[in-house]
């Protein structure tokens, strides 16, 4: 079972390496294991039995103990057409190829499975991005256009592959500063 690497471990700050494609059996099993862990983290019964496990919507490989460019994302994302829609990715070598000038941020601030302490403040991210990656769930290369919350989650997880944590983006002098034109989520 995966043991989450916390920000007290310097490994979390390392830049992760590209993953060879097609995926090796070992890498495929690892990303599937990450998704399994993420889904367990969303199960209240599991969390009750494993108090160290916290609920997450995304997990990057460095958090699971390997500094390789892989991440998983899963959360309920109801739309008008599909009230049961779940946004789910198993991304390998993700790359942001388009980004907006416009910013967005979570009103309640961000959290992270690797960060136990509170870090109050706004984390500004690009409102719209396009990500190019191999998606192991689809079994092919994909382009994801994401805005608002979806874009925030992707940028948070991709940051992990570069050793960056959410609180690096908080202005220590003015954690709740307002960027004009930015969109609160």
Residue 48: active-site member: no
Give me the least distance between CB of 160 and Co ion, in Å please. 6
Closer to Co ion by Cβ: residue 23 or 112: 112
The 99-128 site mask, x for binding Co ion (CB under 5 A), equals -------------x----------------
Closer to Co ion by Cβ: residue 33 or 178: 33
What is the rounded CA–CA span in Å between residue 6 and residue 8?
A: 5
Closer to Co ion by Cβ: residue 19 or 73: 73
HSE, CB side, 13 Å, CA atoms: give it for residue 19: 29
What is the rounded CA–CA span in Å between residue 19 and residue 27?
A: 8
Residues 6+ apart with CB under 8 A from 87: 73, 74, 75, 77, 150
Give me the least distance between CB of 41 and Co ion, in Å please. 12
Closer to Co ion by Cβ: residue 137 or 164: 164
Give me the least distance between CB of 74 and Co ion, in Å please. 14
Residues in binding contact with Co ion, number by CB under 5 A? 1
CA 93, 95, 99: angle at the middle one, nearest 5?
Answer: 165
Give me the least distance between CB of 81 and Co ion, in Å please. 30
**Pseudo-torsion of CA 160, 62, 59, 142, nearest 10°?**
70
Nearest to 91 by CA among 68, 114, 109, 75: 68
Residue 12 near Co ion by CB under 5 A: no
Contact residues: Co ion, CB under 5 A: 112
The catalytic residue positions are: 157
């Amino acid at each position: 079972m995966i043991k989450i690497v916390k920000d007290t471990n310097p490994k979390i700050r390392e830049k992760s390496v590209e993953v060879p494609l097609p995926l090796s059996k070992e890498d495929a099993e690892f990303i599937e294991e990450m998704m399994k862990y993420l889904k367990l983290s969303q199960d209240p019964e599991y969390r009750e039995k494993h108090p160290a496990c916290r609920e997450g919507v995304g997990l990057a490989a460095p958090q699971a103990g390997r500094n390789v460019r892989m991440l998983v994302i899963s959360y309920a994302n109801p739309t008008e057409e599909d009230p049961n829609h779940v946004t789910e990715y198993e991304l390998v070598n993700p790359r942001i190829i388009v980004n907006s000038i416009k910013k967005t941020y979570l009103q309640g601030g961000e959290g992270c499975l690797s960060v136990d302490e509170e870090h109050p403040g706004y984390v500004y991210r690009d409102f719209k991005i396009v990500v190019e990656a191999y998606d192991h769930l689809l079994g092919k290369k994909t382009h994801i256009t994401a805005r608002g919350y979806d874009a925030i989650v992707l940028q948070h997880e991709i940051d992990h592959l570069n050793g960056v944590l959410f609180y690096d983006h908080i202005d220590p002098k003015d954690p709740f500063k307002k960027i004009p034109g930015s969109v609160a989520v």
